[in-house]
Amino acid sequence: MRMFLFYSGAIVVMPEPRVAVIIPAYNEADNIGRAIDLVRKTGVAAEIVVADDGSTDSTAEIARKAGCTVISMPKNIGKTNAFFAGLRAALKTRPDAVIALDADITALPKNSLQALASAAVSASKAKKAAMIIARITEGIRLTSACNSGTRAFSSPAAWRLSSCRLKSLPKGLGLEAFLNEFFGNKTEIIQLPGITAKGPYRHGFREQSFEVASTYERLKKARRILERRRPK
């Protein structure tokens, strides 16, 4: 992703955009090494931050030995909280783009990750707070974009997200549902070929239970809106 500019016959090498990759992980010793290798094989120069959500296996040790920045939670507190801890660490590198990946990713083509990073970098240059969602294949099915764990954030979006008042898991919301609500129409969905994950992604029972609660909360919200609009 290095850029070259030509001025009067001279070649000026522009610095590569700074990219940070966050991988929330809970008991992913069997998968985390592959996920790290996949990112590095794309050639995207990225700072990899593994947000270890209180794993009881060797997830954190494997990530450290691979040279990643590891943020370890004292106990399993859910994917959302682990992501935010990873985001705070990633922003210390002053990235132009932040990418979130699930730890169970099984294929990550070079062109796909570069396209995801480039979309976020372009939004950063335009000073747009944008979230880009990549639809991926889990097992044999294509995921719904709203459930995809493969996302990129422009720098303004990442800073805006980190400065929100959220300090713990939002009631009734899993990470992807929360991000969808937070960014709303500032979201772009792109189809990137070849990205696959084991799926369905399970980040501990805690997060799964909140995803179920999310549907219930949405129904209650819709009902309140209808009640306010109902003619008296």
Report whether pLDDT(29) > 90.
yes
pLDDT tens profile 88-106: 999 999 999 999 999 999 9
Q: 68-82, 118-132, 157-171, 182-196 — which is least confidently predicted?
A: 157-171
What is the token pair recorded at 109?
A: 């083509």
b/e 92-117 (16+ beta carbons within 10 angstroms → b): eeebbbbbbbbbbbbebbeebbbbbb
The count of other CB atoms within 10 Å of the CB of residue 25 is 28
What percent of the chain clears pLDDT 90, i.e. is strictly above it?
Answer: 52
What is the token pair recorded at 50?
A: 């593994």
Report whether pLDDT(47) > 90.
yes
| pLDDT reported for residue 208 | 42
For the chain, list the domains and their CATH numbers.
14-229 (3.90.550.10)
3-state secondary structure of 97: strand
Q: What does pTM read for this prediction? A: 0.79
3-state secondary structure of 2: coil
Do 75 and 55 contact (CB within 8 A), yes or no? no
Identify the band that residue 219 occupies on the pLDDT scale cut at 50, 70 and 90.
very low
Report whether pLDDT(5) > 70.
no
pLDDT tens profile 188-207: 888 877 888 876 555 654 44
Residues 181 and 171: their CA atoms lie apart, in Å, by 13
Do 210 and 217 contact (CB within 8 A), yes or no? no
pLDDT tens profile 138-169: 655 555 677 888 999 999 999 999 988 654 54
Under 8 Å CB-to-CB from 190, ≥6 apart: which residues? 115, 116, 119, 132, 133, 134, 135
| pLDDT reported for residue 181 | 84
| pLDDT reported for residue 126 | 96
| pLDDT reported for residue 121 | 97
